[in-house]
Every structure is written in C-alpha cells, then in structure tokens.
A = this chain, B = another copy of it.
Amino acid sequence: MSDPVVLIVDDEPAIRRLLRTTLTSQSWKTVEAGTGEAALRVATEASPDIVLLDLGLPDLDGVEVLRRLRSMASTLPIIILSVRDDERGKVAALEAGADDYVTKPFSMAELIARLRNALRHGLQKEGTAPLFVSGDLTIDLVRRQLFRAGVEVKLSPREWDIMRMLVRYAGRVLTHQTIMKQLWGPTGDVQQLRVYIRQIRHKIEQKPDMPAHIITETGVGYRLV
C-alpha cells in the first residue's frame, strides 16, 4: 500500500505545521484544512485515509463536520482532537461516529500510535469503495447511499436502479431503450422513466428545471455528468 494520506483539520496554523512535520517524518502524506467547509471540500477531493479533526473550529461546529464526513464516507477513520475536560464535546463526538478521541496536550508518540491503530482497524473493514463524486454529489454504489452536500438523500428502489445505471455510464449517453430494456423488460413505457427522472432531479439537483447532473439528450436518452 502506498503512504496513507492524513487530513489535518485545525484552525491554528502552528498546530497544523507541527502535525505535518511529525506525520511526514513518519512517511505519511498530509492535506490540510483550516475550516469546516474546507475540510469537507478537501475530504472529497483528496479522499484521505484518515482524518484528524479539531473540535474547536471557527465556522462550523466540529461535531457537525464530523457528522458530514461520516455520512460521506462511513468507514473513514476519524480521530478527534480536543482540549481536556470537554466532556460534552467528547460524548457528542463519539456519538456522531468518531473512532477515537485525543485530548490536548498529547504526545506525538501517543498520537501516532492512535493513528496507526485507527488506520489498521479502519482499512481492514472495507476495500476502497468506488465513489462517484461530481460537484456536491457523492454516490456510493456499494453502500447504496447518495449524498448531496454531505446530506444523505433517500432514493426508492427504482430511483436507485436508474441512478446506478447512470453512474456506471457516467459521461456517456444512456438511451431510453437501454434503460427500459434493463429495468422494465420488454413491457414498459418511456413515460415511466420520465417520471422517475423528474423525481430524481428534484432530489439531487439544485435547480431541477435546469438540471446540472442528469442531462436530457432529446430523442436519445439521458447522460450523467
């Protein structure tokens, strides 16, 4: 396996630098974020192997960041950094799905041990899930979950079937005929597909009447971008 990537989320540059130096000396790679928003963005872009998350962030509540990270990538190991005696935060963090909790101040040796531990446990759980990511959309075919801006959106079975086909053909056009034959068999009316496309758009598009993800190719079919 290549070197694990650690996402460091902390608003203090000094702490980020300290962590970066320590971790890179252990032949780990690091990506960093100073705010909760940035953390969510970087997490989707860089797909880190583990996250070090400081609870005291300026913009978003740390626990909220944790929750969204967790829902975006449910097996991603997340270790919380926080000041001692923040019992409320600790409980909330563990409930929201943190894998471990390290109180400041901490020794680097201890932190590295925790990282190794979480990484070992986290990685053996699940192989790398084939995630489809586009803009604020994240689709995990293995877990049968779809997230829009980090928030899970529920799809009915038919809606999922269609979405899955679109993801597998992402970028290419899926003809009506192909979809119909696959999901409805010989019987089945294209009109049914149209109704479902509308429903899906209303769930995943910001402006369902100006779809950015599911594009209509008139006379042919649909395309996912």
Which residues of B lie under 8 Å from residue A17 when comparing CB positions? none
Chain A residues numbered 120-139 whose CB sits less than 8 Å from any CB in chain B: 121, 126-127, 133-135
Q: Does A47 contact B (CB under 8 A)?
A: yes
Copies in the complex: 2
Q: Is the CB of B45 within 8 A of A2?
A: no
Contact partner of A143 (CB less than 8 A), chosen from B94, B95, B133, B171, is B171
Which residues of B lie under 8 Å from residue A127 when comparing CB positions? 100, 114, 117, 121
Which residues of B lie under 8 Å from residue A110 when comparing CB positions? 1
Main SS of chain A's interface residues? Answer: loop
Which residues of B lie under 8 Å from residue A75 when comparing CB positions? 171
Complex: how many Å from CA A133 to CA B100? 12
Complex: how many Å from CA A118 to CA B105? 22
Q: Does A157 contact B (CB under 8 A)?
A: yes
Complex: how many Å from CA A74 to CA B133? 15
The interface centre, meaning the residue of A94, A144, A154 with most chain B CB atoms within 10 A of its CB, is A144
Q: Is the CB of B157 within 8 A of A143?
A: no
Q: Does A201 contact B (CB under 8 A)?
A: no
Q: Does A203 contact B (CB under 8 A)?
A: no
Interface size range of chain A in the complex:
35 or more
Shortest A178–chain B CB gap in Å is 12
Which residues of B lie under 8 Å from residue A74 when comparing CB positions? 171-172
Which residues of B lie under 8 Å from residue A117 when comparing CB positions? 126-127
Complex: how many Å from CA A113 to CA B126? 10
Complex: how many Å from CA A157 to CA B220? 7
Which residues of B lie under 8 Å from residue A126 when comparing CB positions? 113-114, 117
Q: Is the CB of A220 within 8 A of B95?
A: no
Q: Is the CB of A156 within 8 A of B219?
A: yes
Q: Do A95 and B134 form a contact, CB below 8 Å, given A47-B90, A84-B2, A219-B157?
A: yes
